[in-house]
Homo-oligomer: A and B are copies of this chain.
Amino acid sequence: MHSFELDKKDVQKVKAALAEGQDAIETLLRDYHPSEIAILFEGLEKEEREVIINLLDSAQASEVLSEMAEETHPEELLLNLDPEKRTGIVEELDYDDATDLISQLDKEEQNEILDELNEEDASHIRSLLNYPEDTAGGLMNTRVIKIPAVLYKKDAIDEIIRQSEDMEEFYTVYVVDQKDIFQGIVSLKDIIKSRPEARIADLVVKDAVFVHHDTDQEEVARLISQYNLSSIPVVDQHMKLLGRVTFDDVIDVLEEENTEDILKISGVSEDEELSGNWKEAVKSRLPWLVINLGTAFLASSVVRYFEPTIARIAVLSAYMTIIAGMGGNAATQALAVTVRRISLYDLTDNQAYRTVLKEFTVGLINGAVTGLIVFLFALFFDMNTMLGVVIFLAMTGNLIIAGVTGAGIPLVLKRVGIDPAIASSIIITTFTDVFGFLFLLGLASQLLL
């Protein structure tokens, strides 16, 4: 079995069926899982999506909407449906998914949808809308299986079956007291295995991992990953059980966090939507480029200082680009390895120290090897041994700076509590530019003039 990928052939089949009429498209859609239809939607026009959503039953339509990529704007599709259809779909959605969709709309549109719902669903969703998106409360689903600790085996099983009626899947049963205060967890397996006269209170695992509603989503993801949990209970400040976050939400969070890391290290604001338009992209990237321009002026002031040297030995400007470019790339290498390492593991002071030392050694060796190549080039092409020596030394020195700053700066940032990924390549390459020019032009002024 292969994961479903957007394929032109599938899209064309759907478009052909749409042209043919309702029967054709209904027959065709039977071959696709809702999460596959959600992917197909990426290849279809807005109007085509509307036709298809209207042909699906509420259960299928709700699954499609909850699986659609953000960039295909499922919330707009939902908003444009006629009210009755829409209410049916929202009632089928899990509360967390419904909240995610509705939160993308403005207040007025939110109320338009919520006012049509039954009171219970509406109040569940309204309360979820209050939690910030990136907290456990914003991620959680309020539909859980929860049973009172006082129940006996038989009643507990009946209660679990009753509660699981409208749930697709559940992994763990949560145990509460009379006031809904979280007591612990119990597995369905342990209930079934127990003696007939067993009470839930005897079976409950009390030191279960849980989070508060305001716990940051990264923390929730780390806990689920660290303790291999399929779901984690969410409680309020009085330990009242509010809901649960499941592993599939956490997989989404991890993808999101990884996107942020890769963007920040490349000097892109973490908020830039990957599929955003050019206006958003300019807003997200221009500030970084202006910062970069400031640091570039700094590096170019070094070059200006040595202008007389360059005027006399113009070929230095050709080597300048090589030394600076190599330094920038070596720094990016050290930066990527270090930032990723920090985000996966915690490093002790000793490990941090050894990391910088390692990058010093790597810079020394890579600098010497590539410096030697450029030395030989200067020797045979420019017929100038001393020029070669200057370049060799500048390259080696700059690659050492690259390694030490590429690893050292994110480690220092982490130590003082700043996100290390902010040490983007833009910041790091300033060091390698400035030092690269200083080494090359400074040595040239001393040794070649």
Contacts and interface: CB of A to CB of B under 8 A. Distances in A.
A34 to B, nearest CB: 10
Contacts of A268: 333, 336-337
A321 B437 contact: yes
Contacts of A316: 317
A297 B226 CA distance: 47
Interface in A248-297: 248, 250-252, 254-255, 258-259, 261-263, 265-268, 272, 274-275, 277-278, 281-282, 285-286, 288-290, 292-293, 296-297
A344 B189 contact: no
B251 A433 contact: no
A161 B304 contact: no
A85 interface: no
B225 A248 contact: yes
A405 interface: no
Contacts of A370: 286, 289-290, 293
Contacts of A188: 188-189, 192
A225 B274 CA distance: 19
Contact of A230 (B71, B169, B310): B169
A416 interface: no
B292 A325 contact: yes
A307 interface: yes
Contact of A8 (B160, B223, B274, B348): B348
Given A230-B230, A325-B429, A277 B358 contact: yes
Nearest to A165: B193
A339 to B, nearest CB: 8
Contacts of A299: 321-322, 325
A35 interface: yes
In the complex, which range does the number of interface residues on chain A fall in?
A: 35 or more
Identical chains in the assembly: 2
A330 interface: yes
B286 A369 contact: yes
A326 B286 CA distance: 11
6 contacts: A1-B212, A161-B192, A164-B193, A297-B322, A301-B318, A325-B429
Interface of A: 1-6, 8, 11, 33, 35, 39, 42-43, 67, 69, 71, 157, 160-161, 164, 169-171, 187-189, 192-193, 209-212, 215, 219, 222-228, 230, 247-248, 250-252, 254-255, 258-259, 261-263, 265-268, 272, 274-275, 277-278, 281-282, 285-286, 288-290, 292-293, 296-297, 299-301, 303-304, 307-308, 310-311, 314-322, 324-326, 328-330, 332-333, 335-337, 339-341, 344-346, 348-349, 351, 358-359, 361-362, 365-366, 369-370, 373-374, 377, 425-426, 429, 433, 437
Given A285-B330, A301-B318, 12 more contacts: A1-B212, A39-B346, A171-B171, A258-B261, A267-B329, A268-B336, A278-B361, A281-B359, A292-B326, A297-B377, A300-B321, A307-B315
